[in-house]
């Protein structure tokens, strides 16, 4: 086990991210898990800027959920795959 010196808030984010990775049956914490954990902490939301409200946070969470359902495939790659599948029908 690697020892590190993290602030209590950083430890809380790490622990929450670990929980999200476990929820998704992942063997490691990914960027999406860290982002979701940061968004869950009210103190961390300020990293996104002062103008980010609950509506924008909800949209980000929705996009994270959609990304998980598609295995992390970005929208541009999803569109490219769809256009390829349309060509071979």
For the segment 42-73, what is each residue's pLDDT rounded down to a tens digit?
Answer: 777 677 776 667 787 778 778 877 777 666 66
Residue 19: pLDDT above 90?
A: yes
Percent of the chain clearing pLDDT 70 (strictly above):
76
Q: Which two tokens stand for residue 34?
A: 């860290």
Work out the burial of residue 26: count CB atoms within 10 Å of its CB; fewer than 13 is exposed, 13-18 middle, 19 or more buried: middle
**For 4-33, what is the mean pLDDT?**
86
Determine contact, residues 60/39, Cβ cutoff 8 Å: yes
**Is residue 22 scored above 70 in pLDDT?**
yes
Report the percent of the chain where pLDDT is more than 90. Answer: 8
């Amino acid at each position: 086990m690697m020892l590190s010196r993290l602030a209590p808030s950083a430890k809380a984010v790490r622990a929450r991210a670990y929980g999200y990775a476990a929820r998704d049956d992942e063997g490691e914490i990914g960027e999406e898990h860290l982002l979701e954990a940061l968004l869950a902490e009210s103190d961390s939301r300020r990293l996104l800027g002062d103008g980010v409200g609950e509506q924008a946070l909800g949209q980000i969470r929705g996009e994270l959920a959609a990304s998980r359902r598609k295995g992390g495939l970005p929208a541009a790659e999803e569109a490219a795959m769809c256009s390829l599948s349309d060509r071979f029908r």
